[in-house]
Amino acid sequence: MQILTEWIQIIDLYDIDQKKAYEKYLSTGKSGDLASFKRMIRRWRNDERILQARNVGEDLGHFLDINANPYSSYNAKKITLQINSDGELTQAWTKLEQRKEELDNYEEFIKNVEKITPKKFKFTKIENGRDYLEIGLFDMHFGVNDLDYYLNVLNKLNDVINQHNRKKIYFLIGQDLFHTDNFKGQTAKGTQLDTYLKEQDWEDALTFYTKLIDSAVKKAEVVEVIYTKGNHDESVSYGFVRELKAYYRYFKNILFDTEIEEYKARKVGNTMLVFTHSDKLKMNSETVLKMIYRFKGIYVDCDYIEIHAGHLHHLITKEYAGSILRNQSSGASTDKWHQENGFIGTQKMFQIYEYSENGLDAIFNIRV
């Protein structure tokens, strides 16, 4: 193996001192007599690849035939060649480095993200909160659905939030908030769908949730936003929650949980609530016991255990091992997959829950 720049040095040195050039050639681990070396130099001196490679920092794309490909934002930093005893090139490797202008673009993007203008708010302490409200809108699938579609849901949720002061309001955000996880129209697992993430999807979701959180912060002693994973939008929803965190970073009574976990739990009065998307689970008593055992520090102090899950888009309530599983319905419109598999009869709605210190008090069905 031979580094390309060393070959250029050997050729240049040959024009000054053939003997020293030959010695340098041998020092690289190659063998052969002087006559063979001279023939090789003549062959390589005017080789097109060597001529192009002399400008290592400028245009190595043609030499390696890598122009117009996914590495177009990179320059070749070092090229390594493998040459046989006859002086013929048999293989070539390249070490790439990202172009400075591309790095500058990324750095500029990060700076812009960091400069999200936080919302300013005159803090008013909320007192005499009566209960707890859990707002977990599972499987919204922005990208298939937009803000206009969910406008009725937004208004109904605001009405519930504004009923009276509460001790705490929980927002579960994630759970397939977006239909896809990237601009290529793929889910978190890489499944190809027939739509893709658009900037308007993000803006619609942002408008939806900021209006709700703005209302909640005026009616609850504490607001907590909890990131919960989905199978469609694991990364995008995480970034979305981080943007909300930056936007509300001056609010003393808004907490954010951005831990990346399959399961999360909270003690709400005398009830333990467990949140999961459930796409990786087959629900049965054994699964449920394993799940709640993760949070044994919570459930030993609780009288009731509830598991709130999504993914299936229709409402299921079952009891497993002394725990209540509530699989949430979805307000999302019926997509192609659910249509083709016959899941068309479920009413389009979400469930939100009101708890007191003594357990579940009310379930609100929020229809689209």
Query: Does one domain contain both 257 and 319?
Result: yes
Q: Is 320 contained in some domain?
A: yes
Query: 267 is in which domain, residue-wise?
Result: 116-367
Q: How many structural domains does the chain have?
A: 2
The partner residues of 363 in beta bridges, in order of sequence, read 353
Q: Say if CB 108 and CB 74 are below 8 A apart.
A: no
Q: Cα 302 to the chain's mean position, in Å?
A: 34
> Is pLDDT larger for residue 71 or for residue 149?
149
Query: Does one domain contain both 53 and 135?
Result: no
Q: Say if CB 90 and CB 103 are below 8 A apart.
A: no
Percent of the chain with pLDDT over 90: 47
Query: In the predicted model, is pLDDT for residue 71 greater than 60?
Result: no
Query: Does one domain contain both 210 and 259?
Result: yes
CATH code of 124's domain: 3.60.21.10
Q: What is the pLDDT of residue 65?
A: 38
Query: In the predicted model, is pLDDT for residue 209 greater than 60?
Result: yes
Mean pLDDT for 30-47 is 74
The span from the CA of 127 to the CA of 167, in Å, is 8
Percent of the chain with pLDDT over 70: 74
The span from the CA of 53 to the CA of 48, in Å, is 9
From the DSSP assignment, how many helices (H) and strands (E) are in the chain? Answer: 12, 14
Q: Is 108 contained in some domain?
A: no
Last residue of a domain, one of 101, 127, 142: 101
Q: Is 110 contained in some domain?
A: no
Query: In the predicted model, is pLDDT for residue 233 greater than 50?
Result: yes
Query: Does one domain contain both 120 and 92?
Result: no
Q: Say if CB 264 and CB 226 are below 8 A apart.
A: yes
Per-residue DSSP letter, 167: E
By C-alpha distance, which of 325, 363, 323, 295 is closest to 135?
A: 363
Residue 105, C-beta contacts closer than 8 angstroms, at least 6 positions apart? none
By C-alpha distance, which of 17, 92, 86, 12 is closest to 54?
A: 12
Task: Output the pTM of the full model.
Answer: 0.68
Instruction: Compute the half-sphere exposure of residue 163: CA atoms within 13 Å on the CB side of its CA.
Output: 14
Query: Does one domain contain both 186 and 265?
Result: yes
Question: Which range has the worst mean pLDDT, 60-64, 138-142, 318-322, 345-349?
Answer: 60-64
Mean pLDDT of the chain: 81
Residue 331, C-beta contacts closer than 8 angstroms, at least 6 positions apart? 137, 140, 145, 150, 153, 348, 349, 350, 366, 367, 368
Confidence of residue 91 (pLDDT cuts 50, 70, 90): low
Q: Say if CB 96 and CB 76 are below 8 A apart.
A: yes
Last residue of a domain, one of 101, 129, 157: 101
Q: Is 161 contained in some domain?
A: yes
What DSSP string runs through 217-271?
A: TTTEEEEEEEEE--SS-HHHHHHHHHHHHHHTTT-TTEEEE----S-EEEEETTE
Mean pLDDT for 334-360 is 82
Q: What is the pLDDT of residue 70?
A: 41
Mean pLDDT for 205-231 is 96
Q: What is the pLDDT of residue 338?
A: 62
Q: Is 107 contained in some domain?
A: no
What is the gyration radius of the CA atoms in the chain, in angstroms?
31
What's the distance, Cα to Cα, between the start and end of the chain in Å? 67
Query: Does one domain contain both 218 and 306?
Result: yes
Query: Does one domain contain both 82 and 171?
Result: no
What DSSP string runs through 309-356?
A: E-SS-S-EEEEETTEEEEEPP--SPP-HHHHHTT---S--EEEEEEEE
Residue type present at position 105 = N
By C-alpha distance, which of 272, 268, 244, 269 is closest to 257?
A: 244
> Is pLDDT larger for residue 78 or for residue 112?
78
What DSSP string runs through 54-114?
A: TSTTT--HHHHT-SSSTTTTEEEEEEEEEE-TTS-EEEEEEEEEE-HHHHHHHHHHHHHHH
Nearest 5°: CA angle at 8, between 6 and 11? Answer: 110
> Is pLDDT larger for residue 339 or for residue 313?
313
Query: Does one domain contain both 122 and 61?
Result: no
The span from the CA of 343 to the CA of 334, in Å, is 8
Q: Is 18 contained in some domain?
A: yes
> 282-338, pLDDT tens digit by residue?
788 888 888 889 999 998 999 999 999 998 888 889 999 889 999 999 999 876 666
Query: Does one domain contain both 82 and 181?
Result: no
Query: In the predicted model, is pLDDT for residue 250 greater than 60?
Result: yes
The span from the CA of 28 to the CA of 6, in Å, is 9
Last residue of a domain, one of 43, 72, 101: 101
Q: Is 111 contained in some domain?
A: no
Confidence of residue 348 (pLDDT cuts 50, 70, 90): very high
Q: Is 106 contained in some domain?
A: no
Query: Does one domain contain both 139 and 90?
Result: no
> Is pLDDT larger for residue 33 or for residue 106?
33
Query: Does one domain contain both 63 and 9?
Result: yes
Query: Does one domain contain both 68 and 171?
Result: no
Q: Say if CB 166 and CB 112 are below 8 A apart.
A: no
Q: What is the pLDDT of residue 84?
A: 67
> 1-32, pLDDT tens digit by residue?
344 567 677 777 777 778 888 888 888 777 77
Confidence of residue 39 (pLDDT cuts 50, 70, 90): confident
